[in-house]
Amino acid sequence: MATEHLFHVALARDWQAAQEAGDYRVSSLGRTLAEEGFLHACYAHQWPGVLAAYYADVEEPLVLLEIDRDRLDVPLVVEAPAGSGPGSDEFPHVYGPLPLVAVVAVRPLR
């Protein structure tokens, strides 16, 4: 049985830098792994909402990273966002650098 893939919205330039560096370390728009402690990810049904809520005003090119969780070599924790109430959507958080081999597709957005 195939494992559900995860997704991450990224600036195209951050993804390009990751290819040169050997791994991806941007948690979310304007926040690094070192600052946040994990990389934000989401499920297929969640990424359009993330795009609308956090990237609506971004004018530079964006990409959608599709992540095979079975290829991660760092912990993955599914949890509700900090400060959210009971019944809130839970999101997958990647607790370490994202290895390039775990990214199985990159799609341009907008």
Q: What is the mean pLDDT of residues 85-101?
A: 90
DSSP character at residue 60: S
Cα separations in angstroms, 84 against 14, 40, 80, 91: 28, 15, 7, 12
Q: Where are the domains of the chain?
A: 6-109
Q: What is the mean pLDDT of residues 87-107?
A: 94
Separation of alpha carbons 88 and 80, rounded Å? 6
44-72: burial string, b at 16+ Cβ within 10 Å, e else: eebbeebbeeebeeeeeebbbbbbbeeeb
pLDDT at 2: 59
Separation of alpha carbons 98 and 49, rounded Å? 22
Q: Are 6 and 41 in contact (CB under 8 A)?
A: yes
Q: Model confidence at 1, in pLDDT bands (50, 70, 90)?
A: very low
Hey, what are 51's tokens? 């795009």
pLDDT greater than 80 at residue 3: no
pLDDT at 99: 97
Rounded to two decimals, what is the model's pTM?
0.92
Q: What is the pLDDT of residues 28-53, one digit of tens each?
A: 999 999 999 999 999 999 999 999 99
Separation of alpha carbons 48 and 2, rounded Å? 22
CATH of domain 6-109: 3.20.170.20
